[in-house]
Structure 1
Amino acid sequence: MKKRLLLFFTMVFAAVLLISCGTENEDNDGGNAEGSDQTVENKGTIKLGVNNWADYIAVTNMWKVLLEEQGYEVELHQLEKGPVWTGLAQGDLDIAAQVWLPTMDEPYYNEYKDKVELKEIWYEDVGMGLTVPTYVDIDSLEQLNDHADSFDDRIVGIDAGASVMHLTKEAIEEYGLEYELIESSEPAMLSELEKAYENEELIVVTLWNPHWVFSDYDLKYLEDPKLVYGEGDDSYFATRVGFEDDHPEVVQWMNNWKMDDDSLGELMALGLELGDPLEAAKQWIEENRALVDEWMQ
């Protein structure tokens, strides 16, 4: 039942984000955070791009709350990964809170690196790759073709524009995998994973960490001896060119920002529990005010 509830909240998560994006300015009271006891000068509007992944949604809503506490109005723009980069490069967005390098976002970074500004690392040792339940008796991408029939000749993926999908296409070619890569979404992939897991059926999916699903299911990455998925990424944030000149204090705060498995996991888990990433961000910030205050200096 816990797993079903978590998956349900994951699917609700994205829907709530869309609602909050559309209504954020309606309940903004001049830049004051809810419950603030002082008037804060309105410092203008900041536009954050956000990809429809649970971790990305969590930290972007967190920064929405923190920046609004400081007097900014914040707009969230839900987009796939490619359009987020394009928006930064064209100056239509101000910040992308999650950039994974050197591997996962490498194609976008190579295309746009002269038109965006890469800032500091806030989370280290991101992982990604093809993932199976631990009860599956294979350990490497090189073994997949020997069991293709058992996996129905398919890899269950997420949205087509995600970097992990591009890398999986490379992996299929590099390892000669006789599999079809299914394009879907994170919630749809998780739903299929849950169904297979409960019945101890074979399934292979595209996944990454940090992700709450690793704490709820016993899963393992398949070994990638050819390093198609790299040896691990770090998560940076990026801004449009000139944003630091316009808002140096914001970049300073975000350069101070650091999270680990525990802090990010707590934020994501709270979002799943509440079914509302904005309310989760507000509660998490209040529960971790000492940590947040270290960033906002």
Structure 2
Amino acid sequence: MKRNLISKLQFVSVLLVFIVLFIVPTLILPVSKSLLERMNPKEMELFFPLLLLFGCFIACSFWLLINNTTQSKLTVFLKLASATFLLYPLMGLVESVFWLDSLNVVDNREYVRIFFRILITFILFSAYLSLLYKQKHPTGPTEGNILNIKLLIQRLLLIGVIYIAIYNLFGYFVAWQFEATRIYYTGHSELQGFFTMLALNFSDPAFVLVHFFRGMLFGLSGYIFYTMLGCSKHKTTIILALIFGGFGFQLIMPNPIFPEMVRISHFLETTSSMLVFGTILRYVFDYGKVNLPDGTS
């Protein structure tokens, strides 16, 4: 009974700490006045309820992660910090440079502030999770979860291709079905066919290279999370899916870049696609792996 109560209180603390760490960096590195002026006041009325919802999703994901690993506190911190760095601040910087520059809504200084705000949040969040974590028994990473360099590179290249496929499928069949999204990006509401849009996307080498690179970054982040886990395949799949789903879930938050319906379209698109992507990662990393005697692989 006491142990259950402590566990529940610790989970609540993870949620509250994440919310605080989400807000504090904006006080240290304030959002530019030009971006604040673009915020929709009606959307901002929902900021804290949506932040609570986002925080719950993140807390659940990482709570499951730290309760299904057996590595040392230092290893947990280093891996969490590395994986979340790839998943959030670095990926955010890549997205900012590739998309926001073309939309002309953010200056270069704001890119840097966004990067460091996210970095502060997830470095400190990783530190808190590692302090909270109690090592179950003194073992290193599950041996069967470690791939040699050659295999890892092969899997990351494959993941890059898989990501491009998922991105285009969900981008078209979810986000692009919203008229507001088509108007926002193209200036007109015409819904062209999937293969027409696919050909248009692939005619731009920068589009292909950037998304292939993003896929590999996501894959490397996923691999780090994967090596932390010492649980069943079923649990590993759920945890990876939730962690990557959280990357999309952040788009539920009001922001000055997208009008409300465009933001909702990307929230639905990215959350659903990254849940699928996280699920696929486990199968990619598990492929060809010999089951361990304890059945954890």
Alignment TM-score > 0.5, same fold: no
Q: TM-score, normalised by structure 1?
A: 0.25
Relative to total residues, which structure has the larger strand share, 1 or 2?
Answer: 1
Relative to total residues, which structure has the larger helix share, 1 or 2?
Answer: 2
Q: TM-score, normalised by structure 2?
A: 0.25
